Amino acid sequence: MAAKPRVGIFDFTGCEGCELNHLNFEEQLLDILEHVDIVEWREAMDERADELDIAFVEGSLSTPDCITRINAIRRKSKILVAVGACAVQGGVNAMKNLQPIEAVREEVYGEDKYLFPTLPALPLSAVVKVDHEIRGCPMTQIEFLKVFTALVMGKRPVETDHAVCVECKLRENECVYDKGMVCLGPVTRGGCAAICPSFGQYCTGCRGLVSDANPAAMEQILVDHGLAAEEARKKLQLFNANQLEGTQS
Ligand code: SF4
Ligand code: SF4
Ligand code: SF4
């Protein structure tokens, strides 16, 4: 019998919500373990591995130690998968990049700021090659299983690149704009089955921008629907600060 793929699960700066979703695989856990060997996972085991077939990595990179660690994970992994908005886009953490990093350190750590070498929050792809992405805040178990199954079968996972609005229309939802709300569905990458609008909520854009997004037009639509210019900008920046603004050093 061929050896099972060796899998590692890693975390960087984030709330660990995506990783907790791995732990919640109650029904599928035995099936997963039947097809792979999980050989490194800080949250669940002490062992460390020298080589991996697949690394699933959560969180953004926000300290010099993160940069060293992600390079080491990349070197020992054949396939690296970024998991969740923090790992894929920098996530909400990247909002701090909108201010000079020294000001952020001073605000958080005060006179002890030199003890904590914080960097701007970066997506994994800013430092290492990322082979696949599982988006969302948090990632969903359904999507994780799709990517996981494809990789274990030696196939390339299919990545969604259409707007949330497409999935929202397929579900025949009433648009929240018609209910007096605003929504980032037109510029946000789908794959979540438009779950928020399907429950009457607006899309906050957690899965990042679709590749042909027009954020300037989206911002104007938000303003046309009553948001102040600064408020509209902040809404778009929430999960896309790096993509829209770059970082300040
Ligand atoms: S993407 Fe969201 S749920 Fe996942 S680690 Fe980041 S903040 Fe937490
Ligand atoms: S509710 Fe949002 S996602 Fe749905 S159609 Fe309207 S703008 Fe698009
Ligand atoms: S609807 Fe928007 S905010 Fe909700 S899960 Fe999908 S991308 Fe994220």
pTM: 0.93
pLDDT digits (tens, 9 = 90+) for 205-247: 999 999 999 999 999 999 999 999 999 999 999 999 999 986 5
pLDDT at res. 45: 83
User: Which is higher by pLDDT, 114 or 87?
Assistant: 87
| Closest approach atom of ligand 3 to CA 137 | 8
Residue 62 lies in a domain: yes
Query: Please, which residues have CB within 8 angstroms of residue 24's CB and are 6 or more apart in sequence?
Result: 141
Check whether residue 122 and residue 188 sit in a common domain. no
Is residue 157 assigned to a domain? Answer: no
Give the span between the Cα atoms of 144 and 187, in whole angstroms.
23
Domain boundary among 89, 119, 152: 152
pLDDT at 143 exceeding the cut of 60: yes
Q: Is there a single domain that holds both residue 192 and residue 106?
A: no
207 ligand 3 Cβ < 6 A? yes
Number of domains comprising the chain: 2
Atom 1 (ligand 2) nearest CA:
175
CATH of the domain at 145: 3.40.50.700
One domain, residues 15 and 70? yes
Q: What is the pLDDT of residues 11-36, one digit of tens each?
A: 999 998 888 877 677 777 778 888 89
Residues 214 and 118 in one domain: no
Q: Phi-psi bin for 223: left (phi > 0), alpha (psi -120 to 50), beta? A: alpha
Domain that holds residue 131: 6-152
Q: Do 121 and 187 belong to one domain?
A: no
Lining ligand 1 with CB less than 6 A are: 14-18, 58-59, 84-86, 91-92, 137-138
